[in-house]
Amino acid sequence: MRTVGGSAFVLVLAVVLMLGGGVLAWSVRTDFGNVDVERLRFATDDGSIVAARLYRPVEATAATPVAGALLLHGYGDDEGMLTPYAIELVRRGYVVLAVDAPGHGRSSPPIGRQDDFGAHALALVRSLAFVDPDAIVIVGHGSGGEAALAAARADEGNHAAVVLLGAVALAADDDSAALRNVALVTGRFDEFAPAAWRVASAGRAVASDPVRSLFGATEVLVPNEIYGSVEEGTGRILYLTPLTHHALLASGSAIAPTLDWAQRAAAPPRPLPPNDQVWIGSSVGSGMVFVGFVLALFGLSGVLLATRAFRELWIRPAPAAGMRGSGWWLAAIVTAAVPAITYFWAFERAEALLGVTSLWPQPLATGAVVWACLNGAVALVVVLGWWLFVGRRRGARSDTLGLHVGGFGRATLFAVLVVTLAHALLGTVERAFGVDARLWILAQGALDGSHATAFALSVVPLVLVFAVLGMLLHGQLRPLESGGEGADAMIANALIAAGGLLVLLAAQYGVLATQERLPFGEPLLSVFAIELAFLAAVAATLSTYLFSRTGSVWPAALLNGAWVAGYLVAGVATHVVA
């Protein structure tokens, strides 16, 4: 029997979370309306259009200019990742400009040169009539730190300070004389440190030649000790925190030293103790918006399926004919292990075979699609082998695997409507409150025309991969005694889909926590694996939910393909113009 009660509740909960999260995040970001937050766009010399968010406190006027801060994010992120820093700086009276690097966020591709983009952003901050041009702090995370250094060097000593967050590529012979008051805030467990500083771990930054060159020192550095003079602009300090590269972006123990150094070098109108922080409220609000968006996919799916327009999709699943006992466990473990085993290799082969072109402008998204297709091909061989040699003897038919031919067009329309309505709801909340759907590094970005090619090339293979995943989970791995629905099935399938990556991450970060290094290297892909594990778990859960109502793999495959493709292409760096 088709009912809408539970789905309607989930949809209402999603809307409440998104609206409540939007209000909470807006309240903290704007200090309850005392800070003006607006989006800006400006052009660089190479024609790139750069997007930014400007935070302006009430006391910043042309008659009373105040200190400013420029925030530059790292590779694959956007300005929203530095929102906690923006909130705390503007609370103290700084004017803050947080910028999307070219090819990231809302800025147009290509990626471009770090020195050009950073210098243009700094010039924009200095041109604002309500900013003191001699009291600007430049903050950069990861590759944004490279842009910060380039901008500071081009600025020829007119800035007040530079704060580098995390591992930033440095040369052992870098001339740091033009850099005023540099602070390096890094984590002992920064995944990117070995490559950036040629050390075994970030904890050994104190003895790194590039870092010591930045400080103008020959001896091993002492954390939290000021070298030089802040008053004379020669100050240097190393803050070493117990954090990873991206944990620096959501931790008071990294934000506090940044605030401390900024207030030493460029006094704000309202100085506060560094540990006086409220940014967590905004992060909770943005997280509520993100969770609400994900729940909206479930709620909208259930509500639409209960309507007359999609009633032909509501079919009871065929009787289960899948594996059980030790055979089920073996198949489940192998299914979970394959994505982890192929992970690094697939991304390497994707880069070697496809490269970066106008057709494949996003290396991370391209790698994810190639990796998914490889895993899908392996899963297809396994499923077909089981069906041919085992499943048919147990009475399995094509509909046992969820392969209903009828209703494909209606299923496509259903998936398009769910994704469109979910994004429309998210867009309404973002426009109303100026907030992001973000839970730490998980962020649901906004799609635009620049993503069209990458989306079109990603969505079809991902739909097919999710269809095969559905056949595996709801056909071969749906035990005879199971209806394949309910919370237990959702949890089991989520663990099967994401379990291998979770074990890989546990191995990587377990060794990192004890030995301050990644055993398999690949810091960027290790961070990206966190997002892919989340996507796999949610996709498997959504597939289980929809299969229990439609008996088909296609509604979920189409929906997951469209949602995941959109998530990927809107959330990674675009290297070239598509």
- The predicted pLDDT at position 401 comes to 65
Contact present, 188 and 240 (Cβ < 8 Å)? yes
- The predicted pLDDT at position 175 comes to 62
Mean pLDDT of the chain: 89
Q: Is the pLDDT of residue 247 over 80?
A: yes
Going from the C-alpha of 473 to that of each of 270, 378, 408, 465, the distances in angstroms are: 57, 14, 20, 12
**Exposed e or buried b per residue across 193-227, where buried means at least 16 C-beta atoms within 10 angstroms of its C-beta:** bbebbebebbbbbbebebbbbbbebeeebeeeebb
| Mean pLDDT in residue range 331-359 | 92
Of 153-157, 392-396, 531-535, the least confident: 392-396
- The predicted pLDDT at position 340 comes to 96
Place 3 in a pLDDT band, splitting at 50, 70 and 90.
low
- The predicted pLDDT at position 105 comes to 86
- The predicted pLDDT at position 214 comes to 87
Query: How many CB atoms are closer than 10 A to CB 434?
Result: 16
pLDDT tens per residue across span 167-224: 888 865 566 778 899 999 999 999 999 888 888 887 888 888 888 888 888 888 899 9
Place 320 in a pLDDT band, splitting at 50, 70 and 90.
low
Going from the C-alpha of 237 to that of each of 61, 92, 222, 374, 489, the distances in angstroms are: 32, 22, 9, 47, 52
Q: Does domain 31-275 have CATH number 3.40.950.10?
A: no
β-partners of residue 335 are none
What is the rounded CA–CA span in Å between residue 87 and residue 482? Answer: 50
- The predicted pLDDT at position 548 comes to 86
| Mean pLDDT in residue range 25-31 | 94
| Mean pLDDT in residue range 116-126 | 88
Place 1 in a pLDDT band, splitting at 50, 70 and 90.
very low
Q: Is the pLDDT of residue 385 over 90?
A: no
| pLDDT over 70 percentage in the chain | 93
| Mean pLDDT in residue range 236-262 | 95
Q: Is the pLDDT of residue 497 over 90?
A: yes
Torsion of CA 99, 101, 104, 105, to 10 degrees: 10
Sorted by where each begins, the domain ranges of the chain are 31-275, 283-571
Q: Is the pLDDT of residue 528 over 80?
A: yes
pTM for this entry: 0.93
pLDDT tens per residue across span 541-570: 999 999 988 888 999 999 999 999 999 999
Eight-class DSSP state of 177: T
| Mean pLDDT in residue range 79-91 | 96
Residue 89 C-beta-side C-alpha neighbours within 13 Å? 31
Q: Is the pLDDT of residue 19 over 50?
A: yes
Place of tokens 């997007």: 51
- Answer with the residue of higher pLDDT: 479 or 313: 313
**Exposed e or buried b per residue across 466-485, where buried means at least 16 C-beta atoms within 10 angstroms of its C-beta:** bbbbbbbbbbbbbbeebebb
pLDDT tens per residue across span 133-179: 999 999 999 999 999 998 998 887 789 999 999 988 886 556 677 88
- The predicted pLDDT at position 519 comes to 93
